[in-house]
Amino acid sequence: MEATAEEVDRVVRAAHSVRDALADRTARAAFLRAAAELLEKSGPHIIEAADAETALGPARLTGELARTAAQLRAFAEVVDEGAYLDIRIDHEDGSRTPPWPDLRRWKIPLGVIAVYAASNFPLAFSVPGGDTASALAAGCPVVVKAHPGHPATSELCVSVLRRAAARTGLPEDVVTLVHGFDAGVELVRHPLVSAAGFTGSVRGGRALFDAAAARPAPIPFHGELGSLNPVVVTEAAAAERAPEIGAGLGASMTLGVGQFCTKPGLVLAPSGDTGDRLVKALTETVSSAGSGVMLDHRMRDAFLAGVRERAALPDVETPVTPGAGGEHTVSAGFLTVPAAALTAEGPHDALLEECFGPVTVIARYGSEDEVAAVLARLPGNLTATLQTATEGDDPEAAGLLAALTPLAGRILVNGWPTGVAVAPAQHHGGPYPATTSPSTSVGATAIERWLRPVTYQNTPDPLLPPELREANPLDLPRRVDGRRA
pLDDT tens, position by position, 211-249? 999 999 999 999 999 999 999 999 999 999 999 999 999
**Percent of the chain residues past pLDDT 70, beyond the cut:** 100
Count CB neighbours of 386 within 10 A. 24
CATH code: domain 230-413 is 3.40.309.10
pLDDT at position 130: 97
Give the SS3 label for residue 102: coil
**At residue 90, what are phi and psi to the nearest 5 degrees?**
-120, 115
**What is the SS3 assignment for 291-320?**
CEECCCHHHHHHHHHHHHHHHCCCCCEEEE
User: Residue 327 has what pLDDT?
Assistant: 83
Q: What was the pLDDT predicted at 418?
A: 96
Residue 209: per-residue pLDDT: 97
- Confidence bin at 396 (pLDDT 50/70/90): very high
Confidence of residue 102 (pLDDT cuts 50, 70, 90): very high
pTM equals: 0.95
pLDDT at 146 exceeding the cut of 90: yes
> pLDDT tens digit string along 316-328?
999 999 999 888 8
> Alpha carbon of 319 to those of 238, 271, 309, 354: distances in Å?
19, 15, 16, 20
Q: Do 109 and 66 contact (CB within 8 A), yes or no?
A: no
**In 221-301, where do the E strands start and end?**
221-224, 230-233, 266-270, 292-293
User: Which CATH code is given to the segment(s) 5-225+436-479?
Assistant: 3.40.605.10
Give the pLDDT mean for 470-474.
97
pLDDT tens-digit readout, 30-87: 999 999 999 999 999 999 999 999 999 999 999 999 999 999 999 999 999 999 999 9
What length does the chain have?
Answer: 485
Asked if pLDDT for residue 485 goes beyond 90, the answer is no
Which residues are tagged catalytic?
224, 261
Are 360 and 311 spatial neighbours (Cβ–Cβ below 8 Å)? no
- Spell out the domain ranges in the chain: 5-225+436-479, 230-413
User: Burial letters for 323-362: b for 16+ Cβ neighbours within 10 Å, e otherwise?
Assistant: bebeeeebbbbbbbbbbbbbbeeeebeebbebbbbbbbbb
Virtual torsion, Cα 410, 412, 415, 420, nearest 10 deg:
-10
- Whether the CB-CB separation of 267 and 231 falls below 8 Å is answered with yes
pLDDT of residue 1 exceeding 80, the answer is no
- The CA distance from 90 to 427, in Å, is 30
For 72, 101, 102, the CA distances from 92, given in Å and listed in that order, are 40, 5, 4
